[in-house]
Amino acid sequence: MSDVIAVTDTTFDKEVLDSDKPVLVDIWATWCAPCRRTEPIIEELATEHGDRIKFVKLDADANPETLAKYGVVSIPTFNLYVGGEVVKTLVGAQTKKTFLAELAAHL
């Protein structure tokens, strides 16, 4: 998980909102099967495209403030932030092809 950074309610603003490049936030939980299925895809994308997009993970159970702030009600949820604003949201497990299509403008 070296290319994917874990963030918390405390570090979210610094790591995500203040980032100088787009950030894909993977909102997940340990008990979530679709989250576990998606994890290797996110890791692969981070390895391949981490120079252009920052990839971070936010544990839904441990960080309720950020979930409430952004209205996250289902996991996995993937929010793409550009300039501190959510520009795209994907809910549910996604394929690598879908991620690449949705992130294409930033790759």
Residue pLDDT, tens place only, 32-73: 999 999 999 999 999 999 999 999 999 999 999 999 999 999
Q: Answer yes or no: 74 catalytic.
A: no
| Distance set, CA 14 to CA 19, 66, 68, 99 (Å) | 7, 13, 18, 24
pLDDT at 107 (0 to 100): 85
Q: Which domains occur in the chain, in start order?
A: 4-100 (3.40.30.10)
Mean pLDDT of the chain: 95
Per-residue pLDDT band for 2 (boundaries 50, 70, 90) equals low
Share of the chain above pLDDT 70, in %: 98
Q: Answer yes or no: 35 catalytic.
A: yes
Residue tagged active-site, from 4, 24, 25, 35:
35
Residue tagged active-site, from 24, 32, 56, 60:
32
